Structure 1
Amino acid sequence: MSDYQRNLPNLYIVVKGNSKNYTYPGKVIDKKPLPRRNRIEHAERLQQAFEKALENYQQQKLLREPELAVGEVGFYLEFQLPKSELKALEFLENKPKNIELLAVHSSDEADEAVSVTVFVPEKASDFFASKIEAYRDKETGKGKPKNEPLIARLDDISLGTVRALFTDNLEFPSESQEVWWEVWLRHGCRESFQQIAQILDIRTTGNSITFPDREVVLVLTSVITLSRIINNTSLIAELRLAKDSPSMFFEMDMQEQVSWVQELASRIIIASNNNLAICLLDSGVTGSHPLIKPALAPEDCLTCDPNWGVADSKRWGGHGTDMAGIALYDNLYNALATSNKVYLTHRLESVKILPDQGENDPKLYGAITKEAVSRVEINNPKRQRVICMPLTSKGDNNRGVPSSWSAAIDQICFEFQRLMVIPVGNIPKPIICSEYPSRNDLSPAENPSQAWNTLVVGAYTDKVNIVNPNYAQWQTIAPAGDLSPGSRTSLLWTDQWPIRPDVTFEGGNLATDDPHSPGMDIDDLRLLTTYYQPNVRQFNLSGDTSAATALCSYMAARIWAKHPEYWAETVRALIVHSAEWTTAMLGNLPRNPSQSKKISILLRRYGYGVPSLERALLSSKNDLTMICEDQLQPFHKKDGKGSVKTKEMNLHILPWPTQELENLREAKVEMRVTLSYFIEPNPGERGWENKHSYASYGLRLAVKRSTETLAAFRKRINKQEEETEENMTSTRNGDSGWFLGPKTWNRGSIHSDIWQGTAAELAQKDSIAIYPVSGWWKYNPRWEGWNKTARYALIVSIRVIDEVEVDIDLYTPISISPKIKQTVPINL
């Protein structure tokens, strides 16, 4: 199948450099004498070593796995030579015979030996043997041993292994330990490597770095799996451990930190449109920090109490400034480690809601939060903003029941139509390795994560590489791609309450040298951010669900920067819709899992997984996303009198690539549907059913089955609506193929699921109905909710999973369709 990329516009530099004449300076030739060798003994020893290497290769070749044997047939040779004899490198490569020098490595500065790895095609397997033989038996015209500049400099030869390609001066991982690697591929080998990665179910990142003869990809795997690749292919040129460690910046002295900050500040470009901001409700922000000052105006630093001031404080460890750095730059390490311009697409706002002394009464959290949002809305009512509150209330085992704080947050989202992002909460330390993840499952999400209308964020981690040699033998508590050790879950919540978290973002990891001892925060496993006292140091380290919440806010702002016309419900939907469960998350499921296992092991631990900004913004020809924003009136009184009844539903007949899907016939395809809306809350624990329900209304979705006509679909939905009227639960729709199933579509105010089947089946699933179910708007007519409208965002994606021989273009027939966003309202 063709390689379909999500399309991004290229950046074209208009201004060219000035051309100047240039002459390459000559270099001095060093005629250092070659190592003194006993010619015959040296040649025979190297010949024996080479023959042993070739014998090992022949044995290795017998064990080759046919499905993995891609690329040019050949083997890796590892040469040992003194560090003083690197001149030999120019003789180890032979381009006409396609013999390629791959990697050169010495373990440290004190080591006098150098390891050099070379790829040798099988058709050139006698190349070095003939060189050694000629060195032993023949002379040049000057009476010197033939090939002496090469052979005399070699100490040993062996068959190359994974370790031979490892060029880092770091601890080599244990064989079974999964870590992130930089895999440096030989030129033109990326496509073949991706095929191998898919066969071996190896996780790779979507991005890569391309150099003239190397392409670097990030890969999560073990030495054992890399050995299988190397034993079967000739794709890999070099291996390094992926380095995303903030410690290199965190451990600098003050002068070095200031220098790095000044250099980054010189590359910052602020978007001309300043109407987008992330508003932090936290402990205040140090607006004078050089990396924060360009994006946080003094007039945007507010407080709930004038006695508190607006600045960040020691009392909370500079938490607000920590979050500001992440919300503004994402991973600050990446901004520092590049030389590119850094474009700030949004500004910051800060409202201090935590006092420097004493504590807020927990009963007032909701009022303080509403006060904070009201202040910033009054200060700049027309600004588009993501509200980020990376705080929770400790020790509130709410089991999902709404609180005054969570209800206040729901009301803020509903009334102001704002997107608010909050964390699921952290487990208090110490955290013992042997208790992971059972302790996470038994630690319920904290107040106010019961809120329905927010994005609630948990923490996962990809941070498993420990670079610091002081912790070389330590192991991380969480494997790559799994739940961060401190992230809470909603497994103990009752079924009627929302899924928490909604999504997960990077929250860092812990490490230990004893599975029965507490895990420690190691710099390599944290996120780099800004420090609230820049006169002391510039950088700090952060993590857990607070940092994950700031990262989610950053993604929301990036979506709005591209599409300021989107509703808050739409941005929320796109973040959830773009999320996918990692291999590690899915690996916790049993074989053939029940729906209840999917809910408890996946949804109530990880939500819908890890979002992707690229998936949220871009489509490809065989993987596309459609966005619809619409509204309906759930209830009404006939002629304004009598009892309240449901009023309308919307039927979306989607612009569908029917012919293209039918042409694919039995090819496996996938459809994902996400529905997002805001409810008006009505807190008070009164059974939460019917007239005392928490939500003002609910919306449900139904998808046309492959085997029914549009008329039959409409009839079925009308009937289903009547059945769900009293109990707010969905009936079984008889449509197989949904991963989670319709029973999960009645929790909270965002619903998402994935259907898989054949392309021929998907060709007929071109219609989606959105209909209302009961809430307190219906049963409490005195509040006149029955005459209000409800808006929602509907996101639909379709993609081809199977590899097929023909080019697939599902995107074009949709893009040219005049029927995009066509909605047919139906009066009931």
Structure 2
Amino acid sequence: MATGPRDRPHFLLRDNGAAEPYRRPNRKIDPPALPQRNRQAHAQALALAVGGAVAAAEQQLAETGVTAFETRGFYLEFDLPASEGAAIDQLANRQQKMEVVAVREPEGDGGIVKASVFVPERAKNYFLNKIEQYRSTDTDKGRPRNEPLISRIETAQLASARSLFTDDAALFPPDQQLAVWWEIWLREGRREKFEAIAAALEIELRQHAIRFPEREVVLALASTVTMDRVVARSDTIAELRRAKDTPAFFKGLGGAEQRAWTDDLAGRVQVSQTAGDVAICLLDSGVRRTHPLIEPVLSIDDWHTINPAWGADDTPAWQGHGTRMAGVALYNDLIDPLASEDAVELQYRLESVRILPPGDADENRPDLYGAITGEAIARAEIQAPHRSRVVATAITSTAPSRGRASSWSASIDQLCFETDAQRLILIAAGNIRVDLSPADHLVRNDIEPLDDPAQAWNAITVGAFTNKVDVIDAPFAGYAPIAPAGELSPASRTSVTWDRQWPVKPDIVMEGGNLAHDGVNPGEPIDDLRILTTHFRPENRYFSTIGDTSSATAQAAKLAAEIMVSRPGLWPETVRALLVHSAEWTPAMAARVTACHGNKTQLQSILRRYGYGVPNLGRALLSANNDLTLMIEDDIRPFQREGSGSVKMRDMKLHLLPWPKDNLLALGAEPVEVRVTLSYFIEPNPGERGWTRRHRYASHGLRFQMKTATESVDEFRARINQAARNEEEGTPVNVGESWLLGTFRDSGSLHSDFWRGTAADLAERDAIGIYPVGGWWKEKPYLDRYNEKARYSLIVTIRAPGAAVDLYAAVETILKTEIVAQV
């Protein structure tokens, strides 16, 4: 029996979990072995290096010569073996106001980690004293005093601008006299002082700034020589990166003009009376709102720009990209509604905020697109604060991300985390901007990493796949599509090359069209293999085409908005979870998953290429008799502080599920499937400071575990507590058998996995535990976030695709009985 019709709403359970205190299992922890050193020789060499650096710093401070340089202090750069990263946190001392500001990881395995530390002048002898104690004083156990720190340091030197540069080494300016745009990551509370220094040194600053819990980011135009001077004589800078957040995306071809078709479709468009409750907000090149297929749902009040001098309208500089995005966000591929005779109901509004400049000199000047993104969203929300909103953008940086957070991606994570706003953000994965051929397909996809800011943890990152393979247009007779049906679109970027700890991206894929090739030349976009959409000059032509991750992102925005319309009040975390949870791999993708034969490394690469597949509105909203979904919205208080001491784990949540046990037991050995998706938003704290426990990017992490068939509830509790401890200590976590992804599911802030087994086995797997793992809320008590609550959404689906059984009715009866019992 196949899955029955999807005609029953998913079950929504709020505050379903029971909070239980975390109980730390007892375990003796052996500290890691320290490097073997010749104590006297190491102390002498290190004292010479540090002493020389301090003397040079004192000379620098004596030569200040600029009134704005008020702070007395300097930066030291320490070299540590890559295996001794545990010493990074020990380099800081809050009582002495010494701070680790920037860490440069080695390029490959092994090598040297370089950590820069700001040292106030009054603490200039701090490290020299530590070294002397290491040389001459023993602990009660007969070990050199301060050995855990001093033995791990190779050498030290006075820091420069290069020391604080945490970007790719190749981006550091080779010409020290050449003025370039820098992304300046300022230490907390130093912006006013830095602006005074910039004014004194005639450093040009850009208008926008971004604030994070411990950093503020600005853009400055200066030479390396000037930046060396600022680093040498002030305490303002934490790290330096190159400013590279400039917009880039694939620019498409035009399509055929058909005014009669447009008039016919416009006459069938109806706008729902409740359309104003939900909106898709496009951050792009503007939208031509006078287009007859757009005007009904884009009010002039919702037509914005971040710069009044630019206007809100779309322009030729960006080939009408915003208008083309708008058409897809409203209609998907226009071919279907144009060919139909049915009415088309638009159930949400469209909002447009122009964030791209006109085609002049401003186009090539960098800016902080994280700040611009926040400003753009604010304009829409101030105008209509009551709306639930899907924010979508296909604007990405020309510099691919490495998985690590940028100022832009961290800003997006921060915007998602602001739970007072009902907003979900979708970002395009970015497009490959080189010539592509059939031989490049998938190989090129796998080696081209996602564009910035698609690495944002909290946003939905959208890649592109394609089912468009028919070349019909006569001028292209003999051409063939590069990608076969169901495969990744040729230009879609992936996260295959990222390290394991970074989130799985893209999250989902949508139709992005294809490229055609003639067997000799590189592939090219042709209208047959693209998506029909609205043109930005309706006075001349009504239709254009669009493709790649731009069209995919617009389609995903439409799907998210339809979920919000159908289930009003759902948290953005839940809508995000439903998009991913409803996604399935196409047959072509699923075949590659099967071909992995359980090889986890290969499976991880497949997941980083396709994400979780192609979402479906029916699966996202409706259950069937033998395919039911539970949606749970709840919160947890992950941490607590014990008096004035350290912050500890506080709660976990145990969800006892309304399981149809009798029905499952009756099915016996019938194969069944369970899918679990956990979605929450983290608060970001970016900065390249070694990604040690103290300097973690995420505020907190959550994990899920499912009770096994042979565990009692008490045994399950004990296993969750052990899993939380194992995660904190970096030891393997047991997630149980028969899960497809296992611990690889735990990266990022969205976790999804698949379990397959027998119905009888599933009957006893009736509980899911949610437990916290550490983050900077826990490791940085001085920021006073340790008592915060964290929202999460948990989606659970049971499928018995071959069974003639009504699991849905059984669960419905259980829930009604529980409600009656509570009353």
- Which TM class, normalised by the smaller chain length? 0.5 to 0.7
What is aligned with 2:449? 444
What is aligned with 1:298? 300
TM-superposed deviation, 1:686: 1.2
Aligned partners of 1:422 and 1:549 also within 8 Å: yes
TM-superposed deviation, 1:342: 0.2
Distance 1:720 1:379 in 2: 46
Distance 1:3 1:676 in 2: 26
Q: Given residue 697 of structure 2, which amino acid in structure 1 is its aligned partner?
A: Y
Distance 1:583 1:307 in 2: 49
Distance 1:726 1:468 in 2: 60
Query: CA 1:280/1:397 → structure 2, altered by over 3 Å: closer, same or farther?
Result: closer
TM-score (norm: length of structure 1):
0.67
Aligned partners of 2:286 and 2:353 also within 8 Å: yes
What is aligned with 2:162? none
Note if 1:320 corresponds to 2:325.
no
TM-superposed deviation, 1:498: 0.6
Aligned partners of 1:489 and 1:501 also within 8 Å: yes
TM-superposed deviation, 1:388: 0.5
Report the secondary structure of 1:662's partner residue.
helix
**Cα deviation 1:43-99 (Å, max 9, x = unaligned):** xxxxxxxxxxxxxxxxxxxxxxxxxxxxxxxxxxxxxxxxxxxxxxxxxxxxxxxxx
Matches within 5 A, 1:404-443: 404-415=407-418, 416=421, 418-443=423-448
Distance 1:418 1:781 in 2: 29
Aligned with residue 682 of structure 1, among 680, 685, 707: 685
Note if 1:540 corresponds to 2:544.
yes
TM-superposed deviation, 1:291: 0.5
Aligned partners of 1:491 and 1:604 also within 8 Å: yes
What is aligned with 1:761? 761
What is aligned with 1:737? 738
Q: Given residue 256 of structure 2, which amino acid in structure 1 is its aligned partner?
A: E
Note if 1:597 corresponds to 2:602.
yes
Aligned partners of 1:674 and 1:751 also within 8 Å: yes
TM-superposed deviation, 1:260: 1.3
Distance 1:820 1:289 in 2: 54
Q: Given residue 301 of structure 2, which amino acid in structure 1 is its aligned partner?
A: E
What is aligned with 2:514? 509
Note if 1:711 corresponds to 2:749.
no
Aligned with residue 809 of structure 1, among 803, 806, 809: 806
Distance 1:490 1:3 in 2: 33
Matches within 5 A, 1:480-499: 480-499=485-504
TM-superposed deviation, 1:360: 6.3
> Pairwise CA RMSD of aligned residues?
1.9
Report the secondary structure of 1:762's partner residue.
helix
Query: CA 1:280/1:594 → structure 2, altered by over 3 Å: closer, same or farther?
Result: same
Matches within 5 A, 1:767-786: 767-786=767-786
TM-superposed deviation, 1:522: 1.5
Task: Mark the runs of 5 or more structure 1 residues left unpaired by the alignment.
Answer: 10-246, 823-828
Distance 1:815 1:289 in 2: 47
Matches within 5 A, 1:121-270: 250-252=255-257, 257-270=258-271
TM-superposed deviation, 1:8: 7.3
Report the secondary structure of 1:307's partner residue.
coil
Query: CA 1:2/1:428 → structure 2, altered by over 3 Å: closer, same or farther?
Result: closer
Distance 1:505 1:351 in 2: 23
Aligned with residue 282 of structure 1, among 284, 289, 304: 284
Report the secondary structure of 1:549's partner residue.
helix
Report the secondary structure of 2:309's partner residue.
helix
Q: Given residue 756 of structure 1, which amino acid in structure 2 is its aligned partner?
A: R
**Cα deviation 1:154-196 (Å, max 9, x = unaligned):** xxxxxxxxxxxxxxxxxxxxxxxxxxxxxxxxxxxxxxxxxxx
Larger radius of gyration: 1
Query: CA 1:550/1:2 → structure 2, altered by over 3 Å: closer, same or farther?
Result: closer
Aligned with residue 381 of structure 1, among 379, 385, 399: 385
What is aligned with 1:650? 653
What is aligned with 2:698? 695
Aligned partners of 1:406 and 1:449 also within 8 Å: yes
Query: CA 1:534/1:622 → structure 2, altered by over 3 Å: closer, same or farther?
Result: same
Distance 1:550 1:647 in 2: 41
Query: CA 1:441/1:820 → structure 2, altered by over 3 Å: closer, same or farther?
Result: farther
What is aligned with 2:527? 523
Aligned partners of 2:723 and 2:734 also within 8 Å: no
**Cα deviation 1:215-267 (Å, max 9, x = unaligned):** xxxxxxxxxxxxxxxxxxxxxxxxxxxxxxxx9x9434xxxx22211111111
TM-superposed deviation, 1:430: 2.0
Query: CA 1:432/1:482 → structure 2, altered by over 3 Å: closer, same or farther?
Result: same
What is aligned with 1:334? 336
TM-superposed deviation, 1:361: 4.4
Aligned partners of 2:261 and 2:338 also within 8 Å: yes
TM-superposed deviation, 1:819: 7.4
Aligned partners of 1:414 and 1:680 also within 8 Å: yes
Report the secondary structure of 2:490's partner residue.
coil
Distance 2:2 2:533 in 1: 40
Q: Given residue 540 of structure 2, which amino acid in structure 1 is its aligned partner?
A: V
* Matched residues, number: 571
Q: Given residue 798 of structure 1, which amino acid in structure 2 is its aligned partner?
A: I
Query: CA 1:710/1:362 → structure 2, altered by over 3 Å: closer, same or farther?
Result: farther
Structure with greater contact order relative to length (CA < 8 Å, sep ≥ 6): 2
**Cα deviation 1:776-806 (Å, max 9, x = unaligned):** 00111122111110001000001013x34xx
Distance 1:369 1:656 in 2: 44
Distance 2:658 2:3 in 1: 25
What is aligned with 1:621? 625
What is aligned with 2:749? 749
Matches within 5 A, 1:46-57: none
TM-superposed deviation, 1:362: 4.0
Query: CA 1:671/1:360 → structure 2, altered by over 3 Å: closer, same or farther?
Result: farther
TM-superposed deviation, 1:469: 2.9
Distance 1:655 1:460 in 2: 37
What is aligned with 2:467? 462
Report the secondary structure of 2:368's partner residue.
helix
Distance 2:707 2:609 in 1: 30
TM-superposed deviation, 1:821: 10
Report the secondary structure of 1:359's partner residue.
helix
Distance 1:507 1:591 in 2: 26
Note if 1:351 corresponds to 2:330.
no
What is aligned with 2:147? none
Aligned with residue 484 of structure 2, among 475, 479, 482: 479
Aligned partners of 1:655 and 1:819 also within 8 Å: no
Report the secondary structure of 1:289's partner residue.
coil
Q: Given residue 751 of structure 1, which amino acid in structure 2 is its aligned partner?
A: H
Report the secondary structure of 2:815's partner residue.
coil
Note if 1:793 corresponds to 2:793.
yes
TM-superposed deviation, 1:588: 2.9
Distance 1:584 1:264 in 2: 35
Aligned partners of 2:3 and 2:627 also within 8 Å: no
Distance 2:747 2:8 in 1: 36
Aligned partners of 1:730 and 1:746 also within 8 Å: no
What is aligned with 2:579? 575
TM-superposed deviation, 1:3: 5.9
TM-superposed deviation, 1:512: 1.1
TM-superposed deviation, 1:314: 0.6
Distance 1:433 1:818 in 2: 53
TM-superposed deviation, 1:307: 1.1
**Cα deviation 1:609-641 (Å, max 9, x = unaligned):** 111111001111111111000001111123x53
Query: CA 1:737/1:531 → structure 2, altered by over 3 Å: closer, same or farther?
Result: same
Query: CA 1:313/1:820 → structure 2, altered by over 3 Å: closer, same or farther?
Result: farther
State the percentage of identical aligned residues.
51
Distance 1:343 1:384 in 2: 19
TM-score (norm: length of structure 2):
0.68
TM-superposed deviation, 1:397: 3.5
Distance 1:551 1:417 in 2: 20
What is aligned with 2:212? none
Distance 1:821 1:398 in 2: 49
Aligned partners of 1:628 and 1:821 also within 8 Å: no
Task: Mark the runs of 5 or more structure 2 residues left unpaired by the alignment.
Answer: 10-251
